[in-house]
Structure 1
Amino acid sequence: MPLPPDRPPSTPAGTAICDGVVTGLSATLFSVLPRRDQRLKAEQYLRGLRHAKGRKSIRNIAGYIGGATAEQGLHHFISDSTWDWQPMRAALAAHLEQAAAPQAWVVRSLPIPKAGEHSVGVDRLFAPQLGHTFRGQQAFGVWFASEELSTPVNWRLLLPDQWLTDHERRERARIPEGLARESREECATAVAIETAQYGDLARRPVLLDLRGGAIRPTLARLAAARMPVIGRIDPSCRLTVADRALPGFGAGPLPALQILESTKGLRRPVRWLDAARRGTSRTSLASGVRVSLLDPRTGRQRSMLLLGEWRDPQRPPVGVWLTDLLNAPVGSLLQTAKLTRRVDRDVAEVGEQVGLRDFVGRSFRGWHRHITLVSAAHAATVLSAQGVALDLRRDQAA
């Protein structure tokens, strides 16, 4: 069945760029599929995710492509086929490494509200972004991010106890053997470490939210995997001042907020690009303090840098992070930490539109195949937009 044309941007040049990006990305990612019919269905699904009206269900995608016959084939391709999604995710990560030069890997949780009880992983869960519990699924994604764009490349679905211990549920959702229960921070850490195993990817700083979680085991796991980290922490997190010249040295573990407030003299203005507000430049005060905390793997104190950000110098810091990038300038660290805002913007403006939360099937494998192709659709959208923007800037400069 022929593919319907991709919806073009408003100019012929934009149309050519968009078509080139989609065609090139499809050729790169879908070459990992062993059969020609699978490659065709993958490209159909990709285009449907980008352009089908309404919710990106298999039915609506099939309606964009060609109706009831297409629906049956796409349902089998997503839910019942045997293709492995990990090689496609690895290919996407390698492509973005070359095409988009990510500055960091942002680990972000994705709450997926669900009304029913049968979709894999559904439970009563807490979502920090929402500030309350909800009923649904929770996934963790790794996003390759820069100031210009961000794209998800890997996913892990949080599986509550009942989905792993209830034989009937496990069979119905076709959950593979060998998966064990994970906490939120364990799931977030595992998806980052898994991404690092994709091949010849450059190790970028991993940004993740450690507030309310087990900080020390998480940092220890990432250190064992040799992955640099910038983790947002609670101001109440207790750390030990490691610099003899600073207040608090020798006082034992102190709250991070107390350490930062007692070293306000170290603050310096930092200018950063706010991607959440379309490139608006903003200025904060920031400081970095050498601290240490116990490494549960070795039983020794581990050197870290405590980073604080202030918007109002008379008020408490609005952000507190912990990083093992000890020699990086404070300004650079804060600019990198702000890439989470780029991800939040792209989730809302692109990810929601291409179906991040729209899978209506019930199986573990079906969810992973859908979210993998959603990641490809997201990448195609942001790379096309970047290409059109670059072309426009070249025209304006000519």
Structure 2
Amino acid sequence: LPGVHDQALNHFVTNSPWDVVPVRRRLASRMDEVITPAAWALDDTGWLKCGTASPGVARQYTGTVGKVTNCQIGVSLNLVTDTASCPVNWRLFLPESWDPASPAAAADVGQRRVRAQIPDDVGHREKWRLGLDMIDEAVGWGLRSPLIVADAGYGDSGEFRHGLARRGLSYVVQVATTISVYPQAAVRTAPPYRGVGQPPKQRYRQPAVSVKDMVLSAGAVAARTVSWRDGSRIRDGRPVKMRSRFVFLRVRPAGRVLLAAHRDQDLPEAWLIAEWPPDRDEPTKYWLSNLPATTPKRTLIRWAKLRWRIEHDYRELKTGLGLHHFEGRTWQGWHHHVTLVSAAHAFCTLQRLDPKALAPA
């Protein structure tokens, strides 16, 4: 562009010492005020890379290309509604090969961290822990989360779901078919005490089952049709409603973490939701939610499906705003880059929401 000093701009992004936290805090506050989010959404995206110098780069799975490849992974916290959304916080995921304290650390990890200017106190943390870190930070900024939505990369973790519940946060998260649950009616029992040794403790005597088996046992007859929002297709001058069939069950999510956290009490109840299209022999997606039993079914599905906004964000951030164009190799530069791109995305969102804004030529 005429008048742009490329070298100065590159220095501002890569080497300038400005702090991203105040910028993100202001960005989050402004977009929370304008969007009034229905939920906070967690997700991650990949930057395809060559070589090994960029911070966090490793051979790892990324949904960006749907396979294991050489890439960086960034985790984002997005404010979302059906009509608007914006990423307001980021974390760069460091694989164990980049953590000197890990047995899986690369032999040259020390030199690579120095070149990438990674702070000494930053090590490997699972993506779901990075997500909780960002949620805690946003709450510390004065924001209040209405609901957390996330895909199975986060929802499969019992520690993540328990961490949200412990913080008093509601969630609707996708889970894999293998996540184990008890039926709602399951009760803890103990065999009769015979007066010898410690009295036996109450526990669930029946084995937990997978969410897939739980829904299949209910059968397709349990599915009901639910519509949740207007789609992009138009029929007879009106948008066609998004619609599918779903099974709704009340269950008690199991797993080692939850059983340990509720050692002397019943496991909390939750919604198990399964999407079972009429043309399929079995469900295609599953969600768990700790929302109350009185929550309307359409509301549950609207929130379960709300994560589509993140895919919209990532597409716009990458194809329109240059999210994946950063070629710097420093920890600070990466965080500067994603913060500036998020600010640009926020500006575009504000323009779209402003009825007085002029349409681009």
Instruction: Please say whether Structure 1 and Structure 2 have the same fold, judged by a TM-score greater than 0.5.
Output: yes
Q: Are 2:283 and 1:317 equivalent residues in the alignment? A: yes
Q: 1:216 to 1:94 in 2, by over 3 A?
A: same
Please tell me whether the aligned partners of residues 185 and 214 of structure 1 are also in contact (alpha carbons under 8 angstroms): no
| Residue range with higher mean Cα deviation, 94-103 or 155-164 | 155-164
Deviation at 1:349, TM superposition (A): 3.4
Q: Report what 2:134 is aligned to.
A: 191
Secondary structure in structure 1 of the residue aligned to 2:40: strand
Q: How does 1:140-155 map to 2 (within 5 A)?
A: 140-155=75-90
Aligned residue for 1:175, secondary structure, equals coil
Does the CA contact (< 8 Å) of 1:286 and 1:331 recur in 2?
Answer: no
1:101 matched to 2:41: no
Task: Report how far residue 80 of structure 1 moved.
Answer: 2.0
TM-score, normalised relative to structure 1: 0.74
More helix by proportion, 1 or 2?
Answer: 1
Matches of 1:349 and 1:239, distance apart in 2: 38
Per the alignment, in what secondary structure is the counterpart of residue 331 of structure 1?
A: helix
Match of 2:6 among 71, 77, 81: 71
Cα deviation, 1:155-185, whole Å, max 9, x if unaligned, reads 1110122323222111111111222212233
Picking from 234, 242, 245, the partner of 1:282 is 242
**Given the alignment of the two structures, is residue 370 of structure 1 paired with residue 337 of structure 2, yes or no?**
yes
Say if 2:173 and 2:288, in contact at 8 Å, map to a contact too. Answer: yes
| 2:16 counterpart (72, 81, 84) | 81
* Structure 2 portions without partners, runs of 5+: 101-108, 187-203
Matched, 1:226 2:168: yes
- 1:276–1:341 CA contact under 8 A, matched in 2: no
> For each residue in 1:9-57, what CA deviation from the matched residue of structure 2 results, as whole angstroms up to 9, or x when unmatched?
xxxxxxxxxxxxxxxxxxxxxxxxxxxxxxxxxxxxxxxxxxxxxxxxx
Cα offset for 1:276? Answer: 7.4
Deviation readout 1:225-274 (Å, 9 max, x if unpaired): 22222111011211101147xxxx98431111121222344432211226
Equivalenced residue count is 323
Which aligned runs of 4 or more in structure 1 are off by greater than 4 angstroms? 211-214, 274-280, 388-392
Paired position in structure 2 for 1:257: 212
**Aligned counterpart for 1:158 among listed residues 83, 93, 103:** 93
Q: Where do 1:296-375 residues align within 5 Å?
A: 296-299=260-263, 300=265, 301-312=267-278, 315-327=281-293, 328-375=295-342
CA deviations 1:112-135 (Å, max 9, x no partner) are 101232111110011245331011
SS of residue matched to 1:286: strand
CA offsets per residue over residues 45-72 of structure 1, 9 Å max, x none?
A: xxxxxxxxxxxxxxxxxxx2624xx223
Q: Match of 2:134, as an amino acid?
A: V
The answer as to 2:349 corresponding to 1:382 is yes
| Secondary structure of residue in 1 paired with 2:301 | helix
Q: TM-score, normalised by structure 2?
A: 0.81
Which amino acid in structure 2 is aligned with residue 152 of structure 1?
A: P
Conserved 8 A contact 1:275-1:345: no
CA contact (8 A) 1:275 1:341 kept: no
Q: Which runs of 5+ in 1 are unaligned?
A: 1-63, 393-398
How far apart, in 2, do the equivalents of 1:214 and 1:314 lie? 24
Q: Say whether the 8 Å CA contact 2:154–2:173 is kept in structure 1.
A: no
**In terms of mean alpha carbon deviation, does 255-264 or 269-278 score higher?**
269-278
> Structure 1 stretch 288-297 or stretch 325-334: which is displaced more?
288-297
What secondary structure does 1:81 align onto? Answer: coil
Aligned to 2:146: 204
Distance of 1:242 and 1:324 partners within structure 2: 13
CA drift of 1:275 comes to 6.1
Question: Structure 1: which amino acid aligns with 2:34?
Answer: A
Give the conservation status (yes or no) of the 8 Å contact 1:271–1:284.
Answer: yes
Paired letter, 2:309: R
Higher mean displacement: 146-155 or 350-359: 350-359
Q: In structure 2, what residue type is equivalent to 1:126?
A: Y
Q: Which amino acid aligns with 1:190?
A: D
C-alpha spacing 1:94/1:280, structure 2 compared with 1 (3 Å): farther
1:175 aligns with 2:141: no
Local SS of the residue matching 2:17: coil
Counterpart position of 1:272:
228
1:354 Cα shift? 0.5
CA distance in 2, matches of 1:149, 1:238: 34
1:285 maps to amino acid: R
Distance 1:149 1:78, change over 3 A: same
Give % identity.
27
